[in-house]
Amino acid sequence: MNIEQQIAEAIATGIRALYGGETTVEQIQLQKTKKEFTGHLTLVVFPFLRISRKSPEQTAQDIGQYLQEHEPTVAEFNVIKGFLNLALASSCWIRLLNEINRTEHYGLTPATETSPLAMIEYSSPNTNKPLHLGHVRNNLLGFSLAEILKANGYKVVKTNIVNDRGIHICKSMLAWRKWGNGETPQSSGKKGDHLVGEYYVLFDKQYKQELNELESQGLTKAQAEARSPLMAETREMLRQWEAGNEDVVSLWQTMNRWVYAGFDETYQKLGVDFDKIYYESETYLEGKNEILRGLAEGIFYRKDDGSVWADLTPNNLDEKLLLRSDGTSVYMTQDIGTAKLRFDDYPINKMIYVVGNEQNYHFQVLSVLLDKLGFAFGKGLVHFSYGMVELPEGKMKSREGAVVDADDLMDEMLRTAREISRELGKSDVMTPQEIEDIVRIVGLGSLKYFILKVDPRKNMTFNPRESIDFNGNTASFIQYTYARIRSVLRKAAERGLDTSGDLPLSIPLSEKEVTLIRLLADYPGVVREAGSLYSPALIANYVYDLVKEYNPFYHDYSILREENPSLRRFRLLLSFHVAEVLKSGLSLLGIEVPERM
């Protein structure tokens, strides 16, 4: 039985004894006492006035007096109008810390064989360009959400859909064929995804130049686009690919291999991974079959030009193109096929798509189309929608002049971490390998935390240097506190100080120590709420609050120098569990912690 339930039952007994009235534990509202008042738990007494037939103040006074006399967990009380503030005995908090100490995987709920399965799709790159800053937020949110759902007892499958086909992929292929002169990642020394991305940019440059020339001849923009030889070649290449032309397919396979090798390197550096990767080239045909089935069953209709559409106006949406007039598919076609394959492959209970908020409408439509096609899972899809992320203007220049490359960003974070480490003189006593490990942990941890601490639904600006401030709401501030605690615990171990076993309940505690235990006790609830709301930000801000409370305690109270052995053991155990919860919470964000800094 937890403390709140124990006190609630004592209150119900007290109301019966004081006033002869009956109330249920469910009717008793206990909440955390506000910081400006003295106490730990507050009882709202207004619901009991009809039973007591007394004023709110007198009712609160009666119940408080009864609890102080009959419930050992209540040490003191005070009354503020109709609110009864209860201060709990130190023994309650010691007992709570003992329970935390005895709990394996504290705050986390391991999955069992009967646990529901959640599939989370994130990343979703195109094979015509490298991963960029938007992908960084996407990957970090998806990976963290997977870890949080695991911590809530879900089986989790992390999945990626690679957009490896379509007109945009053919643009890179055509540009390489025309102007590549056989260049490869090996011959150029470039990452494969960067190399292919350069040809995508080159195509765009040549295409715009072509349009300008056509418009200078008196054509409108629309006419120029319709007559563009480059775009006509690209569309023809796509038709050849879908028809299985050997040369086109071979080029496509070669350039995709270059890109995948580059992606893998970026994912590894970012610290994210996948359990299953789907490829649009393998799912779009499944989607086309479903569209054609829907057409045959009268769910969809064909226009005069041969294109296939869905009329979603009865669902307060619009008409949606599903197959082009030349028979080629669109993104929606692929998403329908991918969804079907996934539910064929796995017994999915919850399907979550981590995709930016510019695709909100797309996922509304996808859900309706899957439902119309008769798939039971259609209505239950979750679109985890998130906002845009940008850099302060002028902080970093991108390779394309508009999009910030993920590899460049991570390199910038490592450079910034290394510079700040030198400025603070934190690398004087470490080996070069230790310094590089810490630079990596701090640099990438700062990137992840700065992005994940923000409500995912909001747009945000990412500032590399600001994210590695050792005194702000940053990963480095939290990591430094963790390393500081680990240092204390190492010294305690060197002195042979034992922290095993239960603490005696008679240790007197300060309010600061009680606050820390209360925060530790909140951790399981924060993990549950983060899972139900799909919000890594709740975890990030919880660990920051924990650090904010621990650092003044560390400065104001002796730990190793405390002469009372019981109190010293308590403070060591308290510090140990603060560190363990920091490590656990940060791991749910995909962030490592250094043992020393």
Residue 494 lies in a domain: yes
Residue 395 lies in a domain: no
Kindly report the CATH number assigned to the domain that includes residue 527: 1.10.730.10
> In the prediction, which pLDDT does 327 show?
83
> In the prediction, which pLDDT does 585 show?
98
Residue 578 lies in a domain: yes
Where a domain ends, among 54, 88, 122?
88
Q: Which domain holds residue 14?
A: 3-88
Alpha carbon separation from 430 to 156, 245, 426, 444 (Å, rounded)? 39, 58, 8, 20
Alpha-carbon span 287 to 166, nearest angstrom: 14
> In the prediction, which pLDDT does 104 show?
93
What's the whole-number mean pLDDT along residues 107-123? 96
Residue 388 lies in a domain: no
Residue 390 vs residue 562, higher pLDDT? 562
Beta-carbon contacts of 296 under 8 Å, excluding residues fewer than 6 positions away, are none
Instruction: Compute the mean pLDDT over every residue in the chain, rounded to the nearest whole number.
Output: 92
- Tell whether the model's pLDDT for residue 173 goes beyond 80: yes
Which of 464, 578, 474, 563 shows the shortest CA–CA distance to 517?
Answer: 578
- Tell whether the model's pLDDT for residue 545 goes beyond 50: yes
Residue 574 lies in a domain: yes
Alpha-carbon span 176 to 447, nearest angstrom: 34
Predicted confidence (pLDDT) per residue in 278-318, tens digit: 999 999 889 999 999 999 999 999 999 999 999 999 999 99
pLDDT band at 400 (very low <50, low <70, confident <90, very high): very low
Residue 275 lies in a domain: no
- Tell whether the model's pLDDT for residue 461 goes beyond 90: no
Q: For 324-463, list the strands marked E by DSSP.
A: 350-356, 382-386, 389-390, 460-461
- Tell whether the model's pLDDT for residue 462 goes beyond 70: yes
Q: Which helix (H) or strand (E) holds 452?
A: helix 432-452
Q: 100-104, 154-158, 403-407: which range is least confident on average?
A: 403-407
- Tell whether the model's pLDDT for residue 373 goes beyond 50: yes
Alpha-carbon span 413 to 419, nearest angstrom: 10
Residue 99 lies in a domain: no
What's the whole-number mean pLDDT along residues 466-490? 90
> In the prediction, which pLDDT does 164 show?
94
Residue 101 lies in a domain: no
Kindly report the CATH number assigned to the domain that includes residue 38: 3.30.1360.70
Where a domain ends, among 32, 60, 88?
88
Q: What is the 3-state secondary structure (H, E, C) of 516-549?
A: HHHHHHHHHHHHHHHHHHCCHHHHHHHHHHHHHH
- Tell whether the model's pLDDT for residue 261 goes beyond 60: yes
> In the prediction, which pLDDT does 481 show?
96
Residues 176, 255 contacting (CB under 8 angstroms): yes
Q: Count structural domains, the chain.
A: 2
Where a domain ends, among 42, 62, 88?
88
Q: How do 350-356 and 117-121 pair as beta strands?
A: parallel
In the chain the first and final C-alpha atoms are separated, in Å, by: 41
